[in-house]
């Protein structure tokens, strides 16, 4: 009977004496047979790390751990679980006080090392597990909905309060979604209650699988479900999540071998935007749900209508943008960068354009902002890079090999290895192209300067890329970019350049940045140069490069 019963079991033994550990391990295997894994922690600190990072099915804690007490680990274990697995304390001496304290803290048994036998261990193991099983069953009854296996109202309310506290700490928004089935009564009346129950059970599974593991799904009673959606980057993510929840009702559900279609109405309220307390949030989410029902069922509604509209517009824009990238509808326009002394074009900045239906262009800033908030910016980044490479190849076929292109990169592209890997792969056959490319980093969405991001930049600079700080002078991190990473050029923001004739401060700033560039051997480019007067002044300040409408607006090549 011993065979295989605990073959998936994970046991943690916290014991500072290696001999005692080995003895216990041997006894344990003798007592209960093969155990999946037995992990040994030899001191308080490493035990703590293991307890917080791993799950175990059974804990043995020696009480004397150098200066620390195993007793104090009990609390740490309990914190990890709703119902903690069995914890058995071990002690060298039979100390009634410690025994009591261990029980008080929640240990399941207290064993004296010198009295350990396989027989005793086997019994402790069995009894602790059995009582845990009962404890877990009781906790389950109190916290879970037996029909669907989802959280019930009481646990949901607890989790809601916890989520509010967490959100207040982290500043992260979350949404409370209230769902009410539109035609559940019809199913109950026409197919009977067991069919209705079957329907609820199946819907619950669909809900569970259409949400992420960080989301909380509960059945509050009847045909009413509530969800907490956390870990979102922005409001349009809520739309996405709610759309996927609504989507699970598209497919009919089989009850008693009959196919039944049900729809739902959903109301969404967001903390802390729409409410300051748990009950206010519940009320507002309910209100939104009734609003959705009034809209004609199979609908969802945000409590905050303005946010609703904005989120939907953004979501729509995201879908369109994604399609535009896939259908190759984006374009690059190129604006030349001029060497002020000679008037020669030294390179081009590639700027993204998205044509609209009326022969104009969509607002670049607007769609880039949406792209930055989703992962689309990564897709765009890859596309821009490849497009620029294609242009360089065209030039090279025409015999032009001394032209450079600058492309704008988002900080997000350096948060993972994806972009750098793409680039390395793409340039494998034409590595020389890298030398003709400059990556402009803006500080509007600042780059997180960490060793790993710096390494990614270094990798690219190692294969020949140059780096430039865009919009220099208006953000907060310009100087820290220069310190963190060897840049090649800086571009003075156009809001400074356009003021140098009328503002002494901006003129002084411009002069200082040019001097800074010289001191650090960086190329300096003045952006937004629109008049001869400004160009002349920049020349007299020995600014080496300029870019702007005076020379050319961004154009297709």
Query: Residue 213, interface with other proteins (CB under 8 A)?
Result: no
3-class state of residue 341 by DSSP: coil
Are the CB atoms for 206 and 254 separated by under 8 Å? Answer: no
| Rounded least distance, CB 208 to other proteins, Å | 7
| Rounded least distance, CB 257 to other proteins, Å | 6
CA–CA separation, 351 and 389 (whole Å) = 14
| Rounded least distance, CB 60 to other proteins, Å | 21
Query: Residue 147, interface with other proteins (CB under 8 A)?
Result: yes
Query: Residue 257, interface with other proteins (CB under 8 A)?
Result: yes
CA–CA separation, 115 and 11 (whole Å) = 21
CA–CA separation, 319 and 327 (whole Å) = 12
Nearer to other proteins, 256 or 280 (CB): 256
Among 66, 92, 146, 221, binds other proteins (CB under 8 A): 146
Q: Which stretch binds other proteins (CB under 8 A): 4-12, 93-101, 396-404, 475-483?
A: 4-12
* Peptide bond just before 272 cis, omega within 30 deg: yes
The dihedrals phi and psi of 425, each to the nearest 5 degrees, come to -65, -45
Decide the pairing of beta strands 174-181 and 216-221.
unpaired
Helix, strand, coil abundance in the chain, percent, nearest 5? 50, 20, 30
CA–CA separation, 524 and 538 (whole Å) = 11
| Rounded least distance, CB 53 to other proteins, Å | 20
Query: Residue 128, interface with other proteins (CB under 8 A)?
Result: no
Query: Residue 149, interface with other proteins (CB under 8 A)?
Result: yes
Nearer to other proteins, 226 or 478 (CB): 226
Query: Residue 133, interface with other proteins (CB under 8 A)?
Result: no
Query: Residue 80, interface with other proteins (CB under 8 A)?
Result: no
Q: Which stretch binds other proteins (CB under 8 A): 101-109, 110-118, 204-212, 492-500?
A: 204-212
Query: Residue 208, interface with other proteins (CB under 8 A)?
Result: yes
Among 34, 158, 432, 505, binds other proteins (CB under 8 A): 34
**Dihedral (C-alpha) 101, 104, 109, 113: value to the nearest 10 degrees?**
-10
Query: Residue 486, interface with other proteins (CB under 8 A)?
Result: no
Are the CB atoms for 87 and 61 separated by under 8 Å? Answer: yes
Are the CB atoms for 351 and 335 separated by under 8 Å? Answer: yes
CA triple 542-543-546, angle to 5 deg: 140
Nearer to other proteins, 5 or 45 (CB): 5
| Rounded least distance, CB 177 to other proteins, Å | 20
H helix intervals, 295-346:
305-326
Site pattern 178..197 for other proteins (x: CB under 8 A): ----------------x--x
Among 37, 190, 254, 316, binds other proteins (CB under 8 A): 254
CA triple 417-420-421, angle to 5 deg: 75
Residues that bind other proteins (rule: CB under 8 A) add up to a total of: 26
Nearer to other proteins, 169 or 209 (CB): 209
Q: Which residues bind other proteins (CB under 8 A)?
A: 1, 3-5, 7-8, 34, 144, 146-149, 194, 197-198, 201-202, 204-206, 208-209, 253-254, 256-257
């Amino acid at each position: 009977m011993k065979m295989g019963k605990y073959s998936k079991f994970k046991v943690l033994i916290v014991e500072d004496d290696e001999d005692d550990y080995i003895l216990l391990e041997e006894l344990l295997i003798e007592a209960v047979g093969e155990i999946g894994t037995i992990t040994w922690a030899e001191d308080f600190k490493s035990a703590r790390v293991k307890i917080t990072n791993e799950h175990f099915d059974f804990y043995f804690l020696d009480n004397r751990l150098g200066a620390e007490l195993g007793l104090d680990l009990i609390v740490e274990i309990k914190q990890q679980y709703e119902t903690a697995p069995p914890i058995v304390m071990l002690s060298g001496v039979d100390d009634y006080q410690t025994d009591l304290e261990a029980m008080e803290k929640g240990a399941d048994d207290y064993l004296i090392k010198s009295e350990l036998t396989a027989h005793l261990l086997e019994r402790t193991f069995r009894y602790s597990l059995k009582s845990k099983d009962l404890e877990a069953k009781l906790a389950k009854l109190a916290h879970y909905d037996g029909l669907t296996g989802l959280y019930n109202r009481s646990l949901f309310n607890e989790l809601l309060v916890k989520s509010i506290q967490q959100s207040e700490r982290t500043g992260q928004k979350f949404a409370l979604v209230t769902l009410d089935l539109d035609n559940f009564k019809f199913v109950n009346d026409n197919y009977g209650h067991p069919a209705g129950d079957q329907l609820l059970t199946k819907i619950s599974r669909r809900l569970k699988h259409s949400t992420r593991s960080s989301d909380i799904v509960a059945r509050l009673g009847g045909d009413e479900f509530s969800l907490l959606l956390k870990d979102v980057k922005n409001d349009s993510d809520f739309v996405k999540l709610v759309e996927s929840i609504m989507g699970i009702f598209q497919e009919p559900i089989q009850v008693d071998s009959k196919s039944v279609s049900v729809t739902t109405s959903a109301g969404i309220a967001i903390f802390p935007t729409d409410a300051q307390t748990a009950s206010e949030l519940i009320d507002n989410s309910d209100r939104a749900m009734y609003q959705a029902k009034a809209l004609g069922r199979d609908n969802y509604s945000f409590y905050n209508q303005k946010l609703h509209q904005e989120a939907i517009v953004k979501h729509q824009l995201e879908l369109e943008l994604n399609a535009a990238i896939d259908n190759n509808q984006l374009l690059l326009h190129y604006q030349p960068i001029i060497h002020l002394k000679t008037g020669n074009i030294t390179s081009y900045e590639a700027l993204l354009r998205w044509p609209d239906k009326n022969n104009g262009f969509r607002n670049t800033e607007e769609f880039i902002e949406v792209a930055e908030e989703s992962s689309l910016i990564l897709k765009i980044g890859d596309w821009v890079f490849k497009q620029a490479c294609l242009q360089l190849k065209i030039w090279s076929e025409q015999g032009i090999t001394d032209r450079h292109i600058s492309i704008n990169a988002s900080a997000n592209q350096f948060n993972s290895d994806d972009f750098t890997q793409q680039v390395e792969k793409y340039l494998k056959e034409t590595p020389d192209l890298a030398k003709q490319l400059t990556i402009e980093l803006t500080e509007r969405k600042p780059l997180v300067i960490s060793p790993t991001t710096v390494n990614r930049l270094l990798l690219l600079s190692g294969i020949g890329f140059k780096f430039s700080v865009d919009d220099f002078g208006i953000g907060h991190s310009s100087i820290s970019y220069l310190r963190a990473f060897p840049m090649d050029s800086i571009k003075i923001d156009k809001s400074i350049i356009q003021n140098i004739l009328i503002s002494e401060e901006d003129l002084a700033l411009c002069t200082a940045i040019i001097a800074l560039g010289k001191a650090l051997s960086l190329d300096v480019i003045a952006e937004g140069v629109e008049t001869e007067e400004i160009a002349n002044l920049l020349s007299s300040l020995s600014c080496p490069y300029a870019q702007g409408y005076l020379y050319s607006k961004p154009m297709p090549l």
